[in-house]
Structure 1
Amino acid sequence: MSRSDRISARIDTTIAHSARMWDYWLGGKNYYEVDQIAGDQVRRIHPGILDYARADRAFLGRAVGYLAGEAGIRQFLDIGTGLPTSDNTHEVAQRIAPQSRIVYTDNDPIVLAHARALLTSTPEGATDYLDADLHDPEAILKGAAGTLDFSQPVAVMLLGIVMFVEDTDQALAIVKRLMDAVPSGSHLVLSHTITAPGLHDVDAAVEYWNSVGTPKLHQRTPEEVARFFEGLELLEPGVVSCSRWRPEPSPTGELPDEVAFYCGVARKP
């Protein structure tokens, strides 16, 4: 069996998958009818879901832009990258610093099928892709060491992925293990869906998703999301809505509307 055949055999087109549904919301083409049906139903329950997807993607661009620019980071470990779209981590980073080195990690076979063709690199830098699961940080670190130098600062990026680890203590331990492996000056970039009073339509959308899709999504409160940054130096403006992390200035000076998807960036002292 060829490599492409092995990948295809792992793709289940009978159940909606988070990476494909996210791709559908962002206007991509790498999804199936089951993902579109589930995605449309989530939107009916909570119409603001498109704002989440767009806000999280825009946060990625601003965070990577800051790290590659002002912070001088040249290495990025992007875990749970999802399906490639425009302005991926390596594109943003290498536009600022062509010598940047990026390792993407995901365990969704459809992501794997597209990643090698789309995740290219500048001649000065490097990109690599690992077929690995966040639940196994040791395998991620071992695989990433072939491209990244763990004696130099690394940006560990966990956008919209830790929410698929059900147990909070386990999720905290995974993030801590990843940050323990990188030196001082490294950064953590993390985003996570939240639950809070007044977000009944969000909670209903998550409940629906968990009844039809995979992997299962686990909301946490803003205070629980903030725990992932304990022991690190949290950058301003702290743990906030993705739409409000260092947004582009508006003519009126007003902040963008909040979305129930929170994020933060922190430096390892």
Structure 2
Amino acid sequence: QLSSTYGPIFTVWLGPKPVVVLCGYEAVKDALVGHSEEFGGRPEIPLLTQLSKDYGFLSNNEKKWRELRRFTLSTLRDFGMGKSSMSQKVQQEAQHLVEVLAKLKGNTFEPINMFKYAVSNVICSVVFGSRYSYSDMAFLELLNAIGNYVSFFLSPMAKVYNTFPSIMHHLPGPHKKVLADCQKLKDHIQEKVQFHQLTLNSSCPRDYIDCFLMKEEKEKGSPENMYRHEDLIMSVFNLFGAGTVTTSNTLVFFLLMLAKHPHIQ
């Protein structure tokens, strides 16, 4: 309705923040495709900044996140993303999932959890070079921290935090527990990184962490070094946060559709 009065590009104010709105296919395509470099930046999200301290490929530093995203995509492709070797990893994990489901002998269960385990293990195989048992407590805590963070990130309380970060940071509330849980996850990733440092063979990198450590060593001393230890921790965290919940929710939706329409199974 506003675009019919003001055209396909207009500004609205959300409190003290001006927000430019693009309406319609042509305006969005022109901005995000035709001028992708100019529109590649991301606004600061206080909750994310508090968690990441501006490290990792979700950094507010545009040059850094572009470089780390490029490195991450390139490395993931080297380890099979978009290739048949990744398909094999998925099929192997799917077999583990089927075996666990078979043991339930037709009893009811919560599918979202099972799919989270499977999806996360595919990510683990690329990032850590190994998978977890579905009953591993460290693994379950890892997934719980990710799930709680994503749920909170989408909640009304998170919007309050992002609007008044300097106040909310000093007040009690659910954000304190979520950030504490995320710190535990980062500590777990740190342990994995330390193990990789002790066992690294630069002539035969095993996974994403090995490749990052090699790049970190190569870039050491560079005035614009974007491959710091903290960037590795947050990049691994970002891979889990971005991939686990979204993919498992999508799989559960497909499962629901198959249950509703058994004739297409």
Give TM class, smaller chain. under 0.3
Give the TM-score normalised by the residue count of structure 1. 0.26
Structure of higher CA gyration radius: 2
Larger helix fraction of residues:
2
TM-score relative to the length of structure 2: 0.26
